[in-house]
Amino acid sequence: MKSESLREAYGKKLVELGRVHKDLVVLDADLSSSTKTQAFGKEFPDRFFNMGISEQSMVTTAAGMALSDLKPFVSTFAIFLTRTYEQIRQSVCYNNINVKFVVTHAGITVGEDGATHQMVEDVGLMSGLPNMKVIVPSDSVETESVIDYLVEKTKTPYYVRLTREKFPVLNEEGYQFREGKNTVLRDGNDLTIFANGSMLSFALQAAEKLKELAIDTAVINVSSIKPMDRSNIIEYAKKTGHIVTAEEHSIYNGLGSRVCEVTSEEYPVPVVRVGMKDSFGKSGKSWELFDYFHMGVNDIVSAGVKSFREEKKYETIS
Amino acid sequence: MEFPSDMEIQDKKLDNKTLFNIAQSARSLIIKMVYSAKSGHPGGSLSIVDILTDLYFKEMVIDPKDPEMPNRDRLVMSKGHASPALYSILALRGYFPQELLMDFRQLNSKLEGHVHRGVPGVESSTGSLGQGLGVAVGMAIASKLKKENYRVFAVLGDGEIEEGSIWESLMAGSKYRLNNLVAILDKNGVQLDGFTKDIMPMGNVYEKVKSFGWNVMEFNGHNFNEIHAAFDFARKSTDKPVFLIANTVKGKGVSYMENNPKYHGSPPASNEEYEQALSEIGARIYEK
């Protein structure tokens, strides 16, 4: 399976859209060669604003641009955008204006840079903001489709979470992102794995292994964290009765928490969450870190098995 | 004296006496708003209201009948707690009826405690300090990019410039040579907890901002001749953004509020204080 960079896809798409949309502007905070907005800056120097290492100024400037009917895209690393949480809250979300935040280097796949740069709390932070929508694309194809959608169809704040590493391309060419809709990548009857971002390809591998254990596993892409596809989650809670969530993020306030909210409100079933468990990251090779933090393929398999054990426990109690 | 006609306002013909009467009427409305809401920020409203009067009745290109006019001048009230001042001036200028002012801070009123974009004439919601100058930078860049050539004004408090984000935005304004951007510092010397010189001494603001690459001028923010001179200075700046340091008095016009940190965020404490404030403000001939 070929792997592609999500941020490269983002940068490429921006340039493409910039040719058509003359009101598209891009802001970065001295990381444009890493976030890949640099390409836009080269082609459209008048519409590219390198704000320096001044994220607060970057976010409020973008707010002023959106209030003046431009379409600003704001990019930096996930970790550095969160320092402007309050600017995002007050000047962007409270005004409910057309500012798009596309961050890169989220999660532990920043690898060697270590804990200071591994942002695993951002989905929770951003999902908590009224008017903000949160998207976690799983591959380059989905990234392009999301950016297309944001420019063509939306006028409110969005947070799009990208990563540093290349990820396997899982979505077919021509795939179209649908806000608030999950995508079933593999159907199953015994267990559902809801995953997104880097964890989606792990989830598919885990499903293969679970098949050997006679657990027929569905794998569903939840790239639209907010709004969330509640009806799809309820449908699969009813159909399979067991759920695993997998995310390159804290299990608190991210995909896992949101899935638990939906199931506990609508149709309670055992849910086992795979992700960062209230800890900071660590230096290391990206792919080593997944195993270190118990977020690898085998950990997802174990979580799947565990979801059935939980059921037995309930049976014993009753 | 009759309220000036739209024509007189648009032709920028108002004399200082008329501007003074408008400002005093706004002062009276400010006191009534915070007294009826039993909360709000009179001190910093009374210090900035003369400058806002001049902006909305003389300096800015605006049309209250068409608040969304594309090439209108913009004002971002970065010190969003001075909402009573901005709301009063917007009402006097005809953006909405004066009666609405008395619902200030009440449930279901559009007039939120801090400046809110849902109010006609308000460009951006503000209230958390340190953000409005950046928003103004973005608007000024947009004006140039879209060749709409409007000007942008940002009103800052002197406690507010303790926020580091203000200094980030000063750098950005300078980098992008935003000669269509005017920041106005309401330098009244008082913030919530006390005097700015004690809370966080800012030193020589004039030299600091100048060294950030802005054209700077200092003036008396309660004297209309000096206010006009400051805006003349701003209009003539073609190379850089402009930073106007308005020396003002916190609580200006109400003796017991003047220079008293208590009235940064408290209304008149009693009916006696309320009546005294209105009596000292005196001329409020444009109030309905």
- B219: domain CATH number is 3.40.50.970
Interface subset of A 21-40, CB within 8 angstroms of B: 23, 25
Within a domain: residue B4? no
ipTM of the complex in this document: 0.95
Confidence of residue B120 (pLDDT cuts 50, 70, 90): very high
Token reading at A69: 């009917």
From the list B74, B127, B137, which residue is nearest A61 (CB)?
B137
- Chain B residues whose CB is inside 8 A of the A72 CB are 138
What percent of chain B clears pLDDT 90, i.e. is strictly above it?
Answer: 93
From the list B136, B146, B175, which residue is nearest A64 (CB)?
B136
Which residue in B has a C-alpha nearest to residue A69's C-alpha?
B142
Q: Find the range with the poorest average confidence among A48-62, A298-312, B44-58.
A: A298-312
Give phi and psi for B64, each to the nearest 5: -60, -25
Query: Can you say how many angstroms the Cα of residue B8 is from the centroid of all Cα atoms in its chain?
Result: 22
Residue pLDDT, tens place only, B241-283: 999 999 999 999 999 999 999 999 999 999 999 999 999 998 6
Q: Please give the Cα distance from B156 to B255 (Å, whole number).
A: 24
* Mean pLDDT score, B209-223: 98
Of A25, A68, A70, A98, which to mutate for an interface test with B (greatest number of B Cβ within 10 Å)?
A: A68
Interface subset of B 200-229, CB within 8 angstroms of A: none
Pick from A244, A247, A238, A188: nearest CA to A218: A188
Assess contact for B84 and B90: CB atoms under 8 A: no
From the list B124, B146, B175, which residue is nearest A91 (CB)?
B124
One-letter identity of residue A6: L
- A53 contact B CB<8A: no
One-letter identity of residue A312: K
Pick the CATH number of A3-168 from 3.40.50.970, 3.40.1050.10, 1.10.150.390, 3.40.50.300: 3.40.50.970
Pairing of strands A100-103, A71-75: parallel
Query: Can you say how many angstroms the Cα of residue B165 is from the centroid of all Cα atoms in its chain?
Result: 20
Q: Does residue A317 surpass a pLDDT of 60?
A: no
CATH fold label, A183-317: Rossmann fold (3.40.50)
Q: Does residue A316 surpass a pLDDT of 70?
A: no
Q: Does residue A183 surpass a pLDDT of 90?
A: yes
Domain holding B133, by residue range, is 16-281
Q: Please give the Cα distance from B165 to A161 (Å, whole number).
A: 25
Q: Domain-by-domain residue ranges, chain A?
A: 3-168, 183-317
Pairing of strands A271-276, A243-250: parallel
Residue pLDDT, tens place only, A26-37: 999 999 999 999
Token reading at A219: 């794998």
Assess contact for A246 and A203: CB atoms under 8 A: yes
B164/A56 Cβ within 8 A: yes
Within a domain: residue B3? no
Q: Please give the Cα distance from B33 to A305 (Å, whole number).
A: 64
- A52 contact B CB<8A: yes
Give the alpha-carbon dihedral of A49, A104, A113, A5, to 10 degrees.
Answer: -120
B142/A87 Cβ within 8 A: no
Same fold, A3-168 and A183-317: yes
Q: Does residue B7 surpass a pLDDT of 90?
A: no
Residue pLDDT, tens place only, A159-178: 999 999 999 999 998 999 99
Confidence of residue A312 (pLDDT cuts 50, 70, 90): low
Within a domain: residue B192? yes
Q: What is the predicted pLDDT for the residue at A314?
A: 47
Widest pairwise Cα distance in chain A: 68
From the list B124, B130, B133, which residue is nearest A67 (CB)?
B124
A90/B125 Cβ within 8 A: yes
B145/A64 Cβ within 8 A: no
Q: Does residue A209 surpass a pLDDT of 50?
A: yes
Please give the tally of structural domains in chain B. Answer: 1
